[in-house]
Amino acid sequence: MSSYAAMSNSHLPLVPEALPQSNKENCDPSYDVDYESGLMQVAQKQPAGSAQPSRRPTGSVNPPSKLSQVNPSLFISGYDGASSLSILQQAGITHIINVTSEYEDCFPLHFIYLRLRARDKRSERLGPYFEQVSAFVLKAQQEGGRVLVHCQEGISRSATLVLAVMIINKGETLDQAFDALRTARPAVEPSPNFLRELRALERRLFGTASTRRLTPAEKASTDDLEAPEDIAEELTRLTSMAAVSEMTPSTEDHRTAIALVRGRGAHPLREIISTAVYKTFDVYARRELRDVRARAALARFFNALVVAGVFERADLRTSLQELFESEEWADFAMEDVPYAAGYARELMKQLT
Active site residues: 151
CA atoms within 13 A of residue 152's CA, in its CB half-sphere: 12
* 3-state DSSP assignment of residue 209: coil
* 3-state DSSP assignment of residue 33: strand
Nearest to 7 by CA among 132, 99, 128, 113: 132
> Would you give the end-to-end CA distance of the chain in angstroms?
47
> Which DSSP symbol is given to 9?
-
In single-letter form, the type of residue at position 211 comes to T
**Neighbouring C-beta atoms of residue 18, cutoff 10 Å:** 11
Contact 75, 68 (CB under 8 A): yes
DSSP 49-115: TPPPP-SS----SS--TTEEEEETTEEEE-HHHHT-HHHHHHHT--EEEE--SS---S-TTTSEEEE
Contact 144, 72 (CB under 8 A): no
Contact 174, 213 (CB under 8 A): no
C-alpha span between 61 and 63 (Å, rounded): 6
**Neighbouring C-beta atoms of residue 262, cutoff 10 Å:** 12
Q: Say if strands 67-71 and 74-77 run parallel, antiparallel, or are unpaired.
A: antiparallel
